[in-house]
Amino acid sequence: MESSDKAIPCELLEARFVDLLGRVKAMVIPLKHPSSDLREIAGDAAVAEGVSVDGSSIEGYAAVENSDLYIAPEPETVFRLPYDPARAAAYCKLYQRAPGGGLLPSSADPRGRLRAVLAEYLEAGQQVEIKPELEFFFVRDGQPADRGAYIDVYPRDQLSQLMDEVFRMLGQMGIPPERVHHEGAPGQVEVELDYAPILPQADHLVSAKTAIQALAHRAGLHATFMPKPFAGVAGSGMHVHFRVFQAQENLFGAGGGELSNTGRHFIGGLLSHAPALTAICNPTVNSYKRLVPGHEAPIHICWGYQNRSALVRIPLFTDPRKASLEFRSPDATAGFHLALAGMIAAGMDGIRRKTEPPEPTAENVYRLSPAQRRRLRVRPLPGTLGEALDALARDDVVLAALGETLAPRFIELHRALWDHYLHGVVTDWERETYLDA
């Protein structure tokens, strides 16, 4: 939470949480004492009181016969909404009524699942920091909003002023981006958020996505985080860089620009659980139209130093304190809190079990023959949402990260989506190809 010098007082608070699909929800409540100062907003009586919501009306939360949820805003998460000056927002802890009365933390709360996974896997003094890279398209009338290419500038990049607004807006929300630039496809932009502890960073991702969509709406555009909105060009992913610290020591760093054993074991866990992780990191039918050769999206389970064809890439570093690893398959249709909970459980399971990954791959994995991939122990990622859900159903570690309440609901919901796509949808391609059959 950062202080604010904005003169316009906030009158309303969005008490926010996320549903099973990662969509932000909020009960809007009036502040008792409107203020422009974040510290005063955080201390407002309305924040302390919280509010009840109908959990049965929210995907994945509660049955109609036990539907009341109590949401309690966390004062340290309060921030202002630059695109709506009369409002502030805060993320909430969620509670449900216990059988004998009183309140218990909601077992269907994705933020609560991430918090629980961190509590289970991290030892005293440990902290996970992440740097996510959000890619998306600005769209006008169903087409890319400009013709720019990778790191172009104005006038080829006709979105530069809008990107400036994104940069300023996120900074005002306490989410300082490390970089904002044009990505490789027309209309495509990437926002890299600087390293931050994983739980507040998951909240930042929700806030940034919502704010970017609001800013685009104000500009008469649409911001889509759909992984593959246009054929023939790169899709939009959300690469996630990880570091694990013990006090001030980066546990992934070793001498000579190499990863430590801890870093290798974290990779071993990610690779071992990669098929199941794909279901929660790439949870839409469209996600698998991005995970194809040709545009630096991973399609095989392997790792390598500076290798953008691998699922896990080790960026160049010389200082062990800056060692990190990049997990490249996720996209921003994922529910950020659940996906990160799964990734942390997988990586930390690798550390616990001392899981050794295969040797790093230096080759362009897209060009390897099947025999070469077998020799290097390189397996394919799931090619469809259905395959990924099957892998998730077999993976006890990732299922446990989702929790006994959310795991079956997640699988049931996404199997229904996959079944509807297979049996309930007829595409334009099918009509064009088969109408005269």
Residues catalogued as catalytic: 54, 133, 135, 183, 190, 239, 308, 326, 328
Angle at 81 between CA 80 and CA 86, to 5 degrees: 85
Burial class (CB in 10 A: 0-12, 13-18, 19+), 125: exposed
C-alpha 406/C-alpha 62 separation (Å) is 11
What helix, strand, coil percent values describe the chain, rounded to 5? 40, 25, 35
Number of H helices, E strands in the chain: 13, 20
Asked if 368 and 307 count as a contact pair (C-beta separation under 8 A), the reply is: no
Q: 173: which residues sit within 8 A by CB, 6+ positions away?
A: 79, 80, 81, 82, 207, 208, 211
CB-side neighbour CA atoms (13 Å) of 40 = 14
Q: Is the dihedral of CA 112, 118, 119, 120 positive or negative?
A: positive
Q: Phi and psi at residue 269, in whole multiples of 5°?
A: -65, -45
What 8-state DSSP symbol labels residue 295?
T
Strands (E), 122-259: 126-140, 143-144, 177-182, 188-193, 196-197, 222-224, 238-246, 249-250
Asked if 362 and 304 count as a contact pair (C-beta separation under 8 A), the reply is: yes
Q: 426: which residues sit within 8 A by CB, 6+ positions away?
A: none
C-alpha 96/C-alpha 296 separation (Å) is 44
Closest CA to 19 of 54, 65, 48, 50: 54
